[in-house]
Amino acid sequence: MKIAIAGYGVEGEENYKYWSANPANELTIVDERSETGKPLPADAFSILGDGAFAQLNDFDLVIRTAGLAPYKLTTTAPVWSATNEFFAQCPAQIIGVTGSKGKGTTASLIASILEAAGKKVWLVGNIGVPALGVLSQVQPDDIVVYELSSFQLWDLQRSPHTAVVLFIEQEHLDVHRSMDEYVEAKAHITQHQQPSDTVIYNADNDYARHIADVSVAQKIGYPSDSHAHIKDDTFYYGEQRICAVASLSLPGLHNQQNALAAINAVWGYTNDVVAIEAGLRAFKGLAHRLAYVATVSGVDYYDDSIATTPASAIAALRTFAGKPMVIILGGSSKGADFTELAKEMTQHTVRAILIGDEAQAIAAACDASGFVSYEIIENATAQVFTQRAAEVFAQRADEVAKTGGVVLLSPASASFGLFKNYVDRGDQFIAAVKSLYTNK
C-alpha cells in the first residue's frame, strides 16, 4: 500500500514508525516545510516544500498528523490519523477528555485516581505521549485516558466510551476557519457514542452542553447535586462524601472544576473514595500550568505559560483574588477577544505587562474597559523578554512585596513569534525569575 505521512513532527515520526512496521507498505513523508520538525529517516521517500500537500492523489492512504488541517490536503485517497487508528485498534476502554483548557490537568487527575485504585492506566494523546507508541502494550482490562485536542478530533470516526467535555471558548481560530468549525471538531468526541457510553460535560458552558446534546450516551453535567459537586468545602458524589477540597493539590476554582469532571469520569470505574482522595493528592500539576516558581523579596512568581486563552488568564487572576498582582499578557494571535479579560482586570489590584503581537489588541480592550494600569514592552524578542522582564519584575515587585503579592505569567495568547512554544516561554520566564534572586 502506498501511504503518505502528511506532516512530520513528533506525531508524524511515530506514524512513520507504526506504518513502516508492515513491509508491504511503501511510505512517503509529505510536508510543506523544507525542514521538517524531525530529521527524516535515511532511506525515506519524501515530498517537501510549498505545494507538497497538493501532491497526494497517487497514494492509497494519507495519514494526517494532528496539527494539519484536513482542508489543506488535496487528495482522492482516504485520509486517516493516528487517533483514528488507535481508536480502531485499541482493545481497552477509552476515557477521552477535551475542552479549550484544562484537558491535560483533568486527564492527569483521572489517571492519578485510577492508578490509586489499582488500575493499569495509559495516559496518551495531546498531553505528549503518542498513542500509537503504546498501542501494542495495551491490554483489554487496562484503561486508556486520551487527551484530545480539536485537531485530533477533527475527523475522528469513533468516540470514547467515556467522553469528558470541559469548558470551551474561542480558541485555535488561527487554524480553524470559524468558531463553528472548532466546536464541530470538538463534537466528534460524542458524535459516535453508543447508549451504553457516558458523556460528562460542563453544564455551565453552552458549547459543552451542545456537544453533550449530540450524544446518545448517558449524560452527566457538572456540578450537580446528584453527581460530583462541592458542599461545605468538601467533594461529594451525590450523598457520598469523598474528601475535603483541600485534598486537591492544585490551586484555583478552575482546578476544582477539573476535579469534579475527573471524579465523574472515574466513578464508573471506581467509587473507592480513599483512592479518589489519594489520586487528587498525588497529582501535583503539570509544568507551566499555574506552577509556583519561587518567592523573591516576599513576591510569589507563578508560571502559567500554558494559558493561551483569555479565560485561562481570568481563571489565574481569580486564583489570586485579593492579592496585588503583576500579570504578563500577550504573544501571537489565535483570534481571541480580550474584552472579558480586560473587564476582569478592573476587579483586581493588578498591573499588566503586555508583550508580542497581541499587545496592542489587549491594550485597546483595556482602554475600552477603563483599565489603565498596563505597560507595553515594545519590539520584544525572547532574549529581550528575559532581560527586560527581569528589570520590570524588579521594579514592580516593590509595588506588591509588602502585602505578599504575585507576579504571574498567564499570557492569554499563543507563544509563537517570540518563543518556540509555550514550554520555551515558560522556561524564559523561569530564567528571568532566577536572575532576580541570583543577582541579589
Domain termination site, one of 253, 282, 311: 282
- 36/97 same-domain check: no
* Residues 233 and 326 reside in one and the same domain: no
The CATH number of the domain holding residue 258 is 3.40.1190.10
Helix or strand (DSSP H, E) at 275: helix 273-282
Based on the domain organization, do 72 and 104 belong to the same domain?
A: no
The CATH number of whichever domain residue 302 belongs to comes to 3.90.190.20
- DSSP code of residue 262: H
The model carries a pTM of 0.82
Please indicate, yes or no, whether residues 278 and 303 belong to a single structural domain of this protein: no
What angle do helix axes 103-116 and 273-282 make, rounded to 10 degrees?
130
pLDDT of the residue at 126: 78
Domain edge (last residue) among 263, 282, 301: 282
CATH no. for residue 53? 3.40.50.720
Give every CB contact of residue 360 below 8 A, 6+ residues apart in sequence: 376
Regarding whether 323 and 278 lie in a shared domain, the answer is no
Same domain, 229 and 376: no
Place of cell 452527566: 220
Residues of the chain with pLDDT under 70: 172-173, 379-403, 439-440
Do 55 and 101 share a domain, yes or no?
A: no
Instruction: Clarify whether residues 119 and 9 are in a common domain.
Output: no
Q: 332 pairs with which residues across the strands?
A: 414
Q: Tell me which residue range forms the domain holding 49.
A: 2-77
What is the predicted pLDDT for the residue at 169? Answer: 82
Contacts of 118 (CB under 8 A, 6+ apart): 275
Angle between helix 422-438 and helix 382-400 axes, rounded to 10 deg: 50
- Which helix (H) or strand (E) segment holds residue 227: the answer is none
pLDDT of residue 424: 86
The rounded distance, in Å, linking the Cα atoms of 240 and 374 is 47
Supply the pLDDT for residue 85. Answer: 98
- Are residue 246 and residue 128 in the same domain, yes or no? yes
Q: Calculate the CA 69 to chain-centre distance.
A: 18
Work out the end-to-end distance of the chain between its first and last CA atoms, rounded to an integer number of angstroms.
63
* Residue 316 near residue 378, CB atoms below 8 Å: no
User: What's the grid cell of residue 359?
Assistant: 499587545
Cis peptide before 91 (omega within 30 of 0): no
How far apart CA 256 and CA 258 sit, in angstroms, is 5
Question: How many of the other CB atoms lie within 10 Å of CB of 422?
Answer: 22
Q: Cell 479549550 identifies what position?
A: 100
pLDDT at site 402 = 62
- Same domain, residue pair 229 and 334: no
Grid cell for residue 28: 512517503
Which residue among 228, 256, 282 closes a domain?
A: 282
User: Which residues are CB-contacts of 387 (< 8 A; sequence separation ≥ 6)?
Assistant: 432
Q: Are residues 112 and 145 in the same domain?
A: yes
Dump pLDDT digits (tens) for 255-310. 999 999 999 999 999 999 999 999 999 998 888 888 899 988 888 999 999 888 89
Count of structural domains within the chain? 3
Strand, helix or coil at 80? strand
Which helix (H) or strand (E) segment holds residue 33: the answer is none
User: Do 55 and 191 fall into the same domain?
Assistant: no
Contact present, 206 and 221 (Cβ < 8 Å)? no
What are the CA-CA distances from residue 248 to residues 95, 124, 201, 221, 245 (Å)?
21, 22, 20, 21, 6
Rg (CA), the chain: 23
Nearest to 392 by CA among 404, 376, 379: 376
The Cα–Cα gap between 118 and 116 comes to 5
Q: Kindly report the CA angle at 414 between 33 and 111, in degrees rounded to 5?
A: 95
Helix or strand (DSSP H, E) at 384: helix 382-400
Angle 273-282/253-267 helices, nearest 10 degrees?
140
Q: Is residue 290 within 8 Å of 308, Cβ to Cβ? A: no
Describe the chain by its helix, strand, coil percentages, rounded to 5: 40, 20, 40
